């Protein structure tokens, strides 16, 4: 479980531990008996199986809740984690195996995070805080949680490091406590003058580091002080009772410890003061600007260069400074690498040749107690509890989305940039460095064993399993003292330039030692090193002489053998093959020894120069010591004067006390004004009470407004659907309109033909009207003729009667003959009248058919015109008239009357002519 040792920038995975809480008494009373069966079992120290073969409830509205299929659908699901702790696991065992390895990493300087994740009433707060905060942390039988045990272990390790390193290591611990309630960041340890809790703002600097602005950090020196802070914050943190938990957390809580370490990295003695002087060597009496900043991000050592107005720019050392912020060692001249020359923050060299520097290391440890996910039906939340539950679930949903985005194996293999929704919630914004950032992270997934909670348990296991795929890149947040002080940096640059110039000219490095004890130790080490170099020089010189003599002997032997061989080329060649490599090796050795000897000579000269310089410095220090003694005498005289001044000050203080007593007596007279102020204060408090009630009413109205907003959103969605339907109808009508426009073109051509036909009929109608006028005149004449005919008929009847009377007497009278002729004519006229009447009836039928056809043609044209007008949005006329305002019926009647008059005129004219002839 312990994270693997990592260097700067090492990659590590999020560790996940699963804890199964044991059944509780509340489970026995609140969960139906048929759902109390254990559905999750630990099958090994790293694996767990979920078995929900029956149905888990989908609602808790009544005692006979309906059942829905469980998440596993009757199949066992097996999950693997880094650790699995069964219900019988103790608090001490959980802490030892999970949190204790992270504490060592935290003290080393790495950021760490432990977060408890799970359903409501699954044991997250008990795991993180526990009970018995004042108990012994080493006792494995008590109920202390991870936070108090971790705090005790941190202080123990810090004390051990302090005893081991002494003045070379100092530390400072700060604690803070924050809660996220309804997406508001509230500082549980800070409050303003009126006692109200302060809000915390999230900021981000240029390097991408998350800054908690407005958060109060309290210095703590003992674990008891931390427990006091935890009790204070826990008492203020919002908790309430639900159907699933009597003390349900209604907010996410983050308790943080910040460890600031100052380490001396040199091998020599550190400065005497535990807190070194600020850069530039200013005296402690003056206020020094902060020499370091606290980083908590992916690149904690990134240095921001600040411009200095009115001064030459500082040369950049970006190529020589590593990302951690520590200054690299520089080999000056012919000095060895161990003799690194650097300044301490106070501007003085550390003791000895191996000088060092102060480095600040800042690390943070976040203990995150998340509020549990909950279902409103099961918790029976009402009022404010509903709003709190919605806020909790939304924050956990954003956290789940971040885990899903970071832990997706497919996206990790694709090596493409993936958007991580950190800004969807303030919880994920605060945990940005813990999830996928610069921290060792441990997630403790807490689950309930009952089958009643099988769905929530499976969801928790899935998110926890996916969190194991998240990769963090951890770096140690260390920074050398002084890199934020421009004056110190400029002094460093000036000094390095001077040293470089001295080395180029073959001189020595100027010393800035001001401590006699430091100089004495340095002189001893230089003397010892010079003696060592002299001994090495003598040994190398002896070896050089021996090798030179041996080389001369071998060359002489080679020449003798060549002369003795008498030109034996084969033997000489063989001998040269044997002796040649030996000679070459000797020559190489001699060359190397000569080079090393020259280096030692140069180093010896340099050492002699340093010895002379140190002796001169010792002389100066002796003079300075004498001056210091004189200064001490002067200080003693000043102390005497200060003692006298203190006596006079005491007398002055006595006088002030007398004045204070008189002032107290005068203050009694102002009691009346104080009473008035108290009354005003009570009024202000009453107004504040009314304001609180008004705020509560506003919150209630806000909740109602949110409900109305939801309903309005639903209405908007419904209206959008209707709009889509309307748009489809409009598109259909547009297509129909285009089709009807095409039909309208055909109707227009038909209408033109109909109008031409109507024009011809109007011409015929005019002719018929003229004929109608002539018929009217004929009818008048016919009336006269009819009257004449009637009178003549009467006369004929009278004549016929007379003729009948006279026929008895005179049958052959001419009048009688004339009457007979008239009767025959009358009979013929009646026959002609019958034939004319038949023709008249035929003409009437033809007129009726013609009128019907005309009416049908006009109705068809008018119907098309009306539909065209309606399609174009115009209103058709109420009544359609014929040509010149005359209806079709009137036209037919006029035609019938005209034809009748014409026929009757012809008949009457014929009858009149016959009568006249006769």
Distance CA 59, CA 576 (A): 102
| 911 contacts: CB under 8 Å, gap ≥ 6 | 785, 789, 829
Instruction: Output DSSP code: residue 262.
Output: E
32: its two tokens: 């139906």
Judge whether 296 and 364 are in contact, CB under 8 Å. Answer: yes
Distance CA 449, CA 460 (A): 12
Judge whether 828 and 915 are in contact, CB under 8 Å. Answer: no
DSSP string, 649-701: HHHHHHHHHHHHHHHHHHHGGGHHHHHHHHHHHHHHHHHHHHHHHHHHHHHHH
Beta strand 67-69 pairing with 55-57: antiparallel
Is 125 marked as binding a ligand? yes
Instruction: Output DSSP code: residue 38.
Output: B
Distance CA 156, CA 779 (A): 143
Is 356 marked as binding a ligand? no
3-state secondary structure of 322: coil
Is 251 marked as binding a ligand? no
Q: What distance, in Å, lies between the first and last C-alpha atoms of the chain?
A: 151
Is 441 marked as binding a ligand? no
Is 119 marked as binding a ligand? yes
Judge whether 457 and 38 are in contact, CB under 8 Å. Answer: no
908: its two tokens: 């009457």
Judge whether 424 and 395 are in contact, CB under 8 Å. Answer: no
Distance CA 264, CA 107 (A): 16
Distance CA 821, CA 814 (A): 11
2: its two tokens: 């312990």
Judge whether 71 and 484 are in contact, CB under 8 Å. Answer: no
Distance CA 195, CA 182 (A): 20
Cα angle vertex 495, ends 489, 498, to 5°?
145
Q: What are phi and psi of 360, to 5 degrees?
A: -100, 130
Residue closest to 249 by CA, chosen among 345, 96, 370: 370
Q: What are phi and psi of 591, to 5 degrees?
A: -60, -45
Judge whether 169 and 262 are in contact, CB under 8 Å. Answer: yes
Rounded (10°) CA dihedral 702, 708, 710, 711: 170
Residue 838 CB coordination number (10 Å):
10
Judge whether 276 and 284 are in contact, CB under 8 Å. Answer: no
Distance CA 192, CA 76 (A): 55
Is 783 marked as binding a ligand? no
Distance CA 663, CA 855 (A): 121
Residue 166 CB coordination number (10 Å):
13
Residue closest to 446 by CA, chosen among 466, 428, 464, 468: 464
Query: Which residues are documented as binding site?
Result: 118-125
Query: Which residues are documented as binding site for ATP?
Result: 118-125
């Amino acid at each position: 479980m312990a994270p693997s040792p990592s260097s700067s920038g090492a990659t590590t995975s999020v560790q996940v531990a699963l804890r199964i809480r044991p059944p509780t008494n509340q489970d026995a009373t609140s969960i139906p008996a048929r759902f109390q069966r254990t559905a999750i079992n630990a099958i090994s120290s790293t694996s767990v199986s979920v078995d929900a073969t029956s149905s888990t409830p989908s609602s808790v509205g009544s005692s006979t809740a309906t059942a829905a299929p469980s998440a596993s659908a009757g199949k066992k699901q097996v999950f693997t984690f880094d650790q699995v702790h069964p219900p019988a696991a103790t608090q001490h065992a959980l802490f030892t195996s999970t949190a204790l390895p992270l504490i060592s990493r935290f003290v080393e300087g790495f950021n760490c995070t432990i977060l408890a994740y799970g359903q409501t009433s699954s044991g997250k707060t008990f795991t993180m805080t526990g009970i018995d905060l004042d108990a012994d942390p080493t006792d494995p039988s008590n109920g202390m949680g991870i936070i108090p045990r971790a705090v005790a272990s941190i202080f123990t390790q810090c004390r051990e490091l302090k005893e081991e390193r002494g003045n070379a290591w100092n530390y400072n611990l700060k604690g803070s406590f924050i809660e996220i309630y309804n997406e508001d960041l509230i500082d549980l340890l800070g409050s303003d003058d009126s006692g109200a809790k302060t809000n915390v703002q999230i900021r981000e600097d240029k390097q991408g580091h998350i800054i908690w602005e407005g958060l109060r950090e309290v210095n703590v020196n003992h674990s008891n002080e931390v427990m006091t802070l935890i009790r204070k914050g826990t008492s203020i943190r919002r908790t309430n009772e639900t159907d699933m938990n009597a003390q349900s957390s209604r907010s996410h809580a983050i308790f943080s410890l910040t460890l600031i370490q100052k380490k001396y990295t040199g091998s020599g003695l550190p400065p005497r003061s535990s807190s070194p002087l600020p850069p530039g060597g200013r005296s402690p009496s003056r206020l020094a600007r902060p020499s370091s900043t606290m980083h908590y991000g992916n690149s904690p050592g990134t240095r921001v260069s600040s411009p200095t107005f009115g001064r030459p720019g500082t040369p950049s050392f970006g190529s020589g400074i590593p990302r951690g912020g520590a200054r690299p060692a520089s080999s000056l001249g012919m000095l060895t690498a161990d003799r690194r020359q650097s300044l301490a923050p106070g501007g003085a060299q550390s003791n000895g040749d191996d000088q060092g520097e102060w480095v600040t290391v800042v690390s943070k440890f976040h203990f995150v107690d998340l509020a549990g996910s909950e279902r409103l039906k099961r918790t029976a939340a009402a009022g404010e509890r509903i709003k709190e539950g919605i806020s909790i679930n939304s924050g956990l949903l954003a956290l789940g989305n971040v885990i899903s985005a970071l832990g997706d194996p497919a996206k990790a293999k694709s090596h493409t940039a993936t958007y991580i929704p950190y800004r969807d919630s303030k919880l994920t914004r605060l945990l940005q460095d813990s999830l996928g950032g610069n921290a060792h992270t441990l997630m403790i997934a807490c689950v309930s064993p009952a089958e009643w909670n099988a769905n929530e348990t499976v969801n928790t296991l899935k998110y926890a399993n996916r969190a194991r795929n998240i990769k963090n890149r951890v770096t140690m947040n260390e920074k050398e003292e002084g890199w934020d002080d421009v004056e110190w940096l400029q002094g460093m640059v000036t000094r390095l330039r001077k040293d470089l110039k001295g080395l180029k000219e073959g001189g020595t490095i100027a010393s800035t030692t001001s401590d006699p004890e430091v100089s004495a130790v340095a002189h001893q080490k230089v003397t010892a090193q010079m003696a060592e170099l002299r001994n090495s020089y003598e040994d190398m010189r002896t070896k050089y002489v021996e090798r030179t003599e041996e080389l001369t002997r071998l060359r002489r032997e080679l020449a003798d053998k060549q002369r003795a061989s008498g030109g034996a080329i084969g033997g000489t060649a063989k001998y040269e093959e044997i002796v040649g490599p030996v000679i070459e090796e000797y020559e190489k050795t001699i060359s190397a020894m000569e080079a090393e000897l020259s280096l030692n000579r140069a180093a010896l000269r340099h050492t002699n120069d340093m010895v002379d310089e140190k002796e001169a410095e010792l002389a100066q220090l002796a003079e300075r010591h004498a001056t210091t003694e004189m200064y001490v005498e002067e200080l003693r005289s000043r102390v005497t004067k200060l003692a006298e001044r203190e006596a006079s000050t005491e007398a002055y203080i006595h006088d002030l006390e007398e004045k204070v007593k008189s002032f107290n007596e005068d203050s009694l007279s102002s009691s009346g004004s104080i009473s008035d102020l108290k009354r005003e204060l009570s009024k202000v408090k009453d107004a504040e009470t009314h304001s609180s009630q008004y705020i509560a009413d506003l919150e209630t109205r806000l909740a109602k407004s949110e409900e109305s907003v939801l309903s309005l959103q639903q209405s908007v969605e419904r209206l959008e659907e209707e709009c889509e339907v309307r748009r489809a109808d409009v598109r259909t009508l547009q297509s129909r309109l285009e089709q009807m426009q095409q039909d309208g073109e055909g109707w227009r051509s038909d209408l033109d033909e109909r109008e031409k036909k109507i024009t011809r009929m109007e011409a015929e109608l005019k002719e018929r009207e003229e004929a109608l006028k002539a018929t009217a005149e004929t009818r008048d004449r016919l009336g006269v003729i009819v009257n004449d005919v009637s009178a003549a008929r009467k006369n004929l009847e009278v004549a016929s009667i007379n003729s009948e009377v006279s026929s008895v007497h005179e049958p052959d009278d001419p009048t009688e003959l004339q009457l007979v002729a008239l009767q025959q004519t009358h009979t013929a006229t009646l026959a002609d009248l019958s034939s004319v009447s038949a023709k008249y009836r035929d003409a009437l039928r033809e007129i009726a058919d013609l009128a019907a056809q005309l009416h049908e043609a006009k109705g068809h044209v008018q119907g098309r015109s009306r539909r065209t007008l309606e399609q174009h949005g115009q209103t058709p006329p109420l009544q359609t008239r014929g040509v010149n305002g005359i209806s079709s019926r009137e036209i037919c009647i006029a035609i019938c009357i005209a034809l009748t008059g014409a026929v009757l005129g012809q008949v009457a004219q014929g009858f009149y002519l016959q009568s006249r002839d006769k």
